[in-house]
């Protein structure tokens, strides 16, 4: 008789309206979407929800059932194929013995291409003392950044070891700031490498203006994901944020 009561009690719980409603809600949440939108429709859907969203590109994602929507600063939205949801974050692949950051690999490729599109005449370049460089490092820099100045003090040693240093302007305080004006004066100087060295050493340069790439490079840095200075970009597109001692840099570049 006791077993019958237990069975009847269990059936009562299963058939109660509250539990049935909860089961219905769970089914709705876990339902698999059947509608897949194309890239243009995904773009339209996102811009309808957030007009002005700065979408750089939309591509099929390595993550099945999603689109990769690239935004400035290296951010990616993983948008579901039906355009109803998205995830913000990093996509990793699981290998036999490690996790591989696929999102960062994609940013590396993009940075490499962006670097290839820059005209060398728009950079301030410190050439390797060895003639043909053994490695090239591109550095987003700011005049008033303490670690930028510390890094610049090691440029002669980098050159001696065969590392060519290419500077791009990144005024941390923004376009129109005093740091921006200093960078413009450097880029417009008759001898930009000497002007950069003097300015980083604390000298007040004569104010100069000309057609220059400082604002454009500042925007480029933001597109590449630069958030501070110095930021070093290697030839393969990898980016290292912050000051790196010359010995460590040489090791990263395989020059030790």
For the stretch 54-77, pLDDT in tens is 999 999 999 999 999 998 878 899
Q: What is the CATH number of domain 39-89?
A: 3.10.450.70
Beta-strand pair 124-126/99-101: unpaired
Does the structure show a pLDDT above 90 at 220?
yes
How many whole angstroms separate alpha carbon 37 and alpha carbon 81? Answer: 6
Of the listed ranges 3-7, 51-55, 132-136, the one predicted with least confidence: 3-7
pLDDT of residue 34: 58
Residue 200 and residue 148 in contact, taking contact as beta carbons nearer than 8 Å: yes
Does the structure show a pLDDT above 90 at 198?
yes
pLDDT of residue 69: 95
Percent of the chain with pLDDT over 90: 77
pLDDT of residue 20: 43
Residue 64 and residue 57 in contact, taking contact as beta carbons nearer than 8 Å: no
Q: Is pTM, for the whole model, over 0.85?
A: no
Which residues are CB-contacts of 142 (< 8 A; sequence separation ≥ 6)? 148, 169, 170, 171, 172, 179, 183, 229, 230
Report the Cα 254 to chain-centroid distance in Å.
24
Q: How big is the CA angle at 172 (ends 166 and 177), to the nearest 5 degrees? A: 110
Of the listed ranges 30-34, 41-45, 177-181, 213-217, the one predicted with least confidence: 30-34
Residues in the chain: 256
Residues of 202-241 as b/e, b for ≥16 C-beta within 10 angstroms? eeebeeeeeebbbbebbebbebbbbeebbbbbbeebebbe
Q: Running DSSP on this structure, what letter comes out for residue 34?
A: -
For the stretch 110-131, pLDDT in tens is 999 999 999 999 999 999 998 8
Domain parsing of the chain, residue ranges: 39-89, 114-252
DSSP per-residue string spanning 57-117: EEEE-SSTTEEEEE-GGG-EEEEETTSS-EEES--EEE-SS-EEEHHHHHHHHHHHHHHHT
What mean pLDDT, rounded, does the chain reach? 87
Indicate the angle between helix axes 102-116 and 214-224, nearest 10 degrees.
160
Residue 232 and residue 139 in contact, taking contact as beta carbons nearer than 8 Å: yes
Coil vs helix vs strand at 204: coil
Does the structure show a pLDDT above 90 at 25?
no
How many whole angstroms separate alpha carbon 44 and alpha carbon 118? Answer: 32
How many whole angstroms separate alpha carbon 24 and alpha carbon 175? Answer: 55
Region 33-40 average pLDDT: 81
Does the structure show a pLDDT above 90 at 175?
yes
For the stretch 144-161, pLDDT in tens is 999 999 999 999 999 999
**114-252: CATH superfamily:** Glutaredoxin (3.40.30.10)
Region 241-250 average pLDDT: 95
Residue 19 and residue 12 in contact, taking contact as beta carbons nearer than 8 Å: no
């Amino acid at each position: 008789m006791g077993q019958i009561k237990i069975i009847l009690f269990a059936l009562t719980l299963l058939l109660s309206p509250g539990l049935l409603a909860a089961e219905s809600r769970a089914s709705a949440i876990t339902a698999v979407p059947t509608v897949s939108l194309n890239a243009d429709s995904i773009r339209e859907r996102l811009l309808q929800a957030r007009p002005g969203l700065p979408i750089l590109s939309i591509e099929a994602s390595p993550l099945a059932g999603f689109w990769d929507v690239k935004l400035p600063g290296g951010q990616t939205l993983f948008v579901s194929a039906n355009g109803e949801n998205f995830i913000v974050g990093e996509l990793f692949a699981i290998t036999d013995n490690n996790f591989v950051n696929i999102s960062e690999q994609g940013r590396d490729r993009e940075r490499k291409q962006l670097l290839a599109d820059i005209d060398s005449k728009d950079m301030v370049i410190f050439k390797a003392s060895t003639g043909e460089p053994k490695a090239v490092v591109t550095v987003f820099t700011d005049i008033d950044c303490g670690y930028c100045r510390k890094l610049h003090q090691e440029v002669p040693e980098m050159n001696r070891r065969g590392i060519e240093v290419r500077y791009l302007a990144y005024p941390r305080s923004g376009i129109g700031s005093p740091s921006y004006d200093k960078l413009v004066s450097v880029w417009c100087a008759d001898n930009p490498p000497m002007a950069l060295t003097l300015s980083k050493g604390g000298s007040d340069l004569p104010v100069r203006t000309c057609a220059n790439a400082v604002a454009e490079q500042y925007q480029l840095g933001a597109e590449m994901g630069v958030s501070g200075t110095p930021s070093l970009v290697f030839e393969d597109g990898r980016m290292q944020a912050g000051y790196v001692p010359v010995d460590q840099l040489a090791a990263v570049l395989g020059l030790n």
